Structure 1
Amino acid sequence: MVALANAIVATVLVLVLVAVFPLGKADLASERAALLALRSSVGGRTLFWNATNQSPCNWAGVQCEQGQVVELHLPAVALSGRIPAGIFGNLTHLRTLSLRFNALTGPLPADLASCINLRNLYLQRNLLSGKIPELLFRLPDLVRLNLGFNNFSGGVPAEFNKLSRLRTLYLQNNQLSGPISQLSLPDLEQFNVSNNFLNGSVPDKLQKFPQDSFLGNSLCGRPLKLCPGDDASASSPSGDIPNNKTKKKNKLSGGAIAGIVIGSVVCLLLLVFALILLCRKKSSKKTSAVEVATVKHPEPELPGDKPVDELENGPGPHSNGAHENGYTVAAAAAAAMAAGNGNKAEANGGGGSGAKKLVFFGNSATAGAARPFDLEDLLRASAEVLGKGTFGTAYKAVLEAGPVVAVKRLKDVTISEKEFKEKIESVGAMDHENLVPLRAYYFSRDEKLLVYDYMPIGSLSALLHGNKGAGRTPLNWEIRSGIALGAARGIEYLHSQGTNVSHGNIKSSNILLTKSYDARVSDFGLAHLVGPSSTPNRVAGYRAPEVTDPRKVSQKADVYSFGVLLLELLTGKAPTHAILNEEGVDLPRWVQSVVREEWTSEVFDLELLRYQNVEEEMVQLLQLAVDCAAPYPDKRPSMYQVVQSIEELRRSSLKEDQDQIQTQHDLVEL
């Protein structure tokens, strides 16, 4: 009886303790132990978790609600090795798990299936392998799943259909093979299986996604090319197959056929006539060169070669823009050109009349002008020096008719007029929203001028390293990441024009900005026009180590230069010799040395450190920059991959923010 009484007392005591002390504390203790076990298993250079702190809710990357760990964000912290089993079985309240941009290997642990509340799983940019694990299909609340840029193999399972709430499914850049299963996910918004070994046709329900979602495979069907044996009518939305009755009804009489033939011939003749007129009109516009007679102006003194901050085609936000000698600088160059050449019938000049041309590309109306301007307009324009760059001096010219243009006066052009025209025609044909368009050019024996759209904000170099006093617009993460993406898209477009097409002179002073801080790449295609003496040592901070001739820069060397540009954008520091009269640093080496000492936050510009909520994205972009600036060309990504990475970075961070807002909204409703 005594023993029975003691047992009853003990049971009551346990029940009282459970009622008084919430189970959440016991759960938090087990979660704390699981996180410490994870850290000891896979390391991590920035996991400075204080083991003496009883609550993991104060650790970096850990978020808690009601005494439970609900989010774990550990991107780009050098995690490596396999994720051991027995960790996630104690983290069952997780709703978001982000282990992206690390070096994790092997398959996923089976106990991840215990996290049945998981909504967002970000595992991209690791070395995970094996087939897509079946455990994922036991996570019914999964909304965002990103397994891209790993080593997963096997097929794309039909079991994904079990994840009825799935909105994002990224599987690109793995080793998946075979056909894509018929997926029917009504809420799917983002899908990508590009750069795998998949074959067969694209399933009907996935044909709504763009081509980029399927490139790099052996797939066919919309939105790609039709599969062999398919025809356009078979893939039409209706998919109707006409029966015999319909065929009979569709037979036309002989008179109807004759009428159709006659009508077609008439339409064809009218179309040919219209095309002839259109071609004549286009040819007259494309080569609309304004003949300028001899301009009898006194030859003024041209601006000297005094050092100026390298802004190239765009002033800084606080430039003075003073005129020289009371005479406009652009007019000075044009007057010298006209005075020196106007009375000569040069072999270079085209025509025995001695007149010279200002040749426009495409629509001759420039920068919104109602009519084309000519050399006489440039002579009368008020202008200011913008800067002296690698290929010449740039001026801002304000024409009397209204438009503002940037005029670059080239130096050290050693090629013939015929070769110059051939090369500059290809530059003028470049058309992309992230390039500064070349509007017109002038060629004579003594002067070569290029006319561009004027970019009002100026260059990225001026914005990063110019005035940092009162009134400066702070460059937040949104602006900087947007500039990085715009510049990457512009360079990627250049590379897409051919395997031998590169920029050759990528640096922050050649990234110009519109009023809305959209990036425009300038000075493309000019490296092949000038001699080697026009590439001074001050670009060495951007130059890839394998480059010996600045006129022969590969696309991988462009990627290196862009990597240095990204480091400059993130750190706020100028690379070696990039700015005159100011000491720079070897950015790639400096960043690697700081990161190696586990002081990653010390790398970033102080203006960026005030935005703590985007530190993960900053670290990811930093890692991408380091990859681009790898010493060996074959270790660098392509610009296409760089654009994809930055787009994904910006998109996923936005989605995570939206998911967090949605999660908070859902919790409020509950």
Structure 2
Amino acid sequence: LMKFFLVILFTGFIILFIFFAKRRAAKLARDKEIQQSLEDSPIKISSVKPEEETKSGEEHGELAFFDGEYERFKIEDLLASAADLQGQNLCSSLYKVRLKDNGIFAVKRLKNLHVSIEEFGRMMRQIGNLKHPNILSLVAYYSSKEEKLLVYRYQRKGSLLSLLENYAENKRDFTWRLRLSIAQGIAQGLKFLHDQSPVGKERITHGNLKLSNVLLTENEEPLIGEFGFQKYLDPKRACLFNSNGYKAPEKSLTEQADVFSFGVILLELLTGKTIERTGLDLPKWVKAMVREEWTGEVFDKEVNKAGKQWAFPLLNIALKCVSHLPEQRPTIAEVLRKIEEAVNDQEDFSFSSTSSVDSNNHDGSLLTIPENWDTPGSNT
């Protein structure tokens, strides 16, 4: 029996060794492809000493700025500036660039796009002219046959992903009111995008909505970034749909798919769990908890403490957003109305409550889930 046990143990060890060896080999191959892609680029954004000048013999196109941008510079200024690589994949790289005048910008470098210079320029001009408090404005863009650069103002507060991760590590607070405000802001920004359909122009969708693509202002108001170019990415490269936890099952660039992604973000805000680092199938986990009638255990401790009674209807709408079938999902306008109802209800409650009433008695613990409370898409 002991011999049989040792054989089983040894076999298991061999299987695990092969599994991790293959996983490491795949990662090394992917990293090598990324590095080769960076080396093959005709335009480099790298850490350069400020006093170094771009060679006068180099020929570049011009940066195209948008109306209202008072701070303008040349592509040579950008390429000669000190830059820190913030992140990269097979389709893009992100740099934090500090100009000689100490202006700080985020520069997105896109690679292997399937689009002509003319079409890309038309789309960027359409996006660059979009102005909304919850949209990250495009400052400028550069376009050549080989390279596309997008320039944004650098957001010092970072992303919503960083905020939620810092909260999970007990490095900061993340109150219910702030979560509700951020959810409302993202929904407002996404609705604004979906409403932009000028005659003769293609409707704008996001295509890659996730926590790391929602940045925060100094007042911690959300700014939606990284939109407008997903449809031009090489469909053969995995980065088009690499955010599997946020991507709708149909893997399409549609408004319904954006709503699915927003539903996942709303679940993250309610549960305090993040999926970009963990790979957790959050919709599946939440639906399983609801089916087992453990709905109250879904919410994060901060939500349970201060906002549980308003969180139930938001959980319901979030689950509708992540329905398996696109036609079962609400529009972002319908989602926004539900969030605004929660905001208004909380404000009314805060206004009507008195010091003699303990708000903890209204944390949702006495609420009952309606019998017809649905869990759309639970078959996934």
- TM bracket (short chain): 0.7 to 0.9
1:594 is matched by which residue type in structure 2? M
1:613–1:507 Cα change, 3 Å = closer
Offset of residue 477 of structure 1: 0.6
Query: Is 1:441 the counterpart of 2:134 in the alignment?
Result: no
Asked which structure has the greater RCO (Cα within 8 Å, sep 6+), the reply is 2
Q: How does 1:110-125 map to 2 (within 5 A)?
A: none
Q: Is the 8 A contact 2:313 2:338 kept in 1?
A: no
1:467–1:619 Cα change, 3 Å = closer
Which of 539, 562, 568 is residue 262 of structure 2 equivalent to?
562
Equivalent residue, structure 1, for 2:216? 513
Which of 83, 94, 98 is residue 383 of structure 1 equivalent to?
83
Query: Is 1:640 the counterpart of 2:333 in the alignment?
Result: yes
Q: How does 1:19-30 map to 2 (within 5 A)?
A: none
Which of 605, 624, 635 is residue 300 of structure 2 equivalent to?
605
1:474–1:492 Cα change, 3 Å = same
Which of 42, 46, 49 is residue 329 of structure 1 equivalent to?
46
TM-score normalised by length of structure 1: 0.43
Q: How does 1:25-36 map to 2 (within 5 A)?
A: none
2:294 is matched by which residue type in structure 1? W
Q: Deviations over 1:409-441 (max 9, x none)?
A: 111213221121112111112111100000101
Which of 57, 63, 68 is residue 358 of structure 1 equivalent to?
63
Offset of residue 634 of structure 1: 1.9
After TM superposition, which residue ranges in structure 1, 4 or more long, deviate above 3 angstroms? Answer: 303-306, 466-470, 606-609
Q: Is the 8 A contact 2:167 2:174 kept in 1?
A: no
Q: Is the 8 A contact 1:411 1:534 kept in 2?
A: no
Equivalent residue, structure 2, for 1:495? 194
Q: Is the 8 A contact 2:94 2:109 kept in 1?
A: yes
Between structures 1 and 2, the one with greater helix share: 2
Q: Distance in 2 between matches of 1:304 and 1:469?
A: 33
Q: Is the 8 A contact 1:573 1:584 kept in 2?
A: no
Equivalent residue, structure 2, for 1:72? none
**Considering only aligned residues, what root-mean-square deviation do their CA atoms show, in Å?**
2.8
Q: Say which SS state the counterpart of residue 351 (structure 2) adopts.
A: helix
Offset of residue 641 of structure 1: 1.1
Q: Distance in 2 between matches of 1:377 and 1:343?
A: 15
Which of 262, 285, 310 is residue 617 of structure 1 equivalent to?
310
Give ranges in structure 1 of 5+ residues lacking alignment.
Answer: 1-302, 307-326, 345-353, 665-670
Q: Distance in 2 between matches of 1:560 and 1:328?
A: 35
Q: Is the 8 A contact 2:109 2:150 kept in 1?
A: yes
Paired residues in the alignment total 311
2:301 is matched by which residue type in structure 1? L
1:639 is matched by which residue type in structure 2? I
Q: Is the 8 A contact 1:433 1:520 kept in 2?
A: yes
Q: Deviations over 1:74-129 (max 9, x none)?
A: xxxxxxxxxxxxxxxxxxxxxxxxxxxxxxxxxxxxxxxxxxxxxxxxxxxxxxxx
TM-score normalised by length of structure 2: 0.74
Q: Distance in 1 between matches of 2:131 and 2:48?
A: 28
Q: Is the 8 A contact 1:396 1:454 kept in 2?
A: yes
Q: Deviations over 1:571-625 (max 9, x none)?
A: 22233xx33xxx422111110110121222321223434xx24211122221111
Q: Is the 8 A contact 2:159 2:215 kept in 1?
A: yes
Percent of aligned pairs with the same residue?
A: 36
Q: Distance in 2 between matches of 1:462 and 1:500?
A: 30
Query: Is 1:530 the counterpart of 2:233 in the alignment?
Result: yes
Give ranges in structure 2 of 5+ residues lacking alignment.
Answer: 1-31, 36-43, 358-380
Equivalent residue, structure 1, for 2:287? 592
Offset of residue 374 of structure 1: 1.7
Offset of residue 467 of structure 1: 7.5
Q: Say which SS state the counterpart of residue 338 (structure 2) adopts.
A: helix
1:426–1:519 Cα change, 3 Å = same
Q: Is the 8 A contact 1:330 1:378 kept in 2?
A: no
Q: Distance in 1 between matches of 2:270 and 2:183?
A: 10
Equivalent residue, structure 1, for 2:117? 417
2:104 is matched by which residue type in structure 1? V
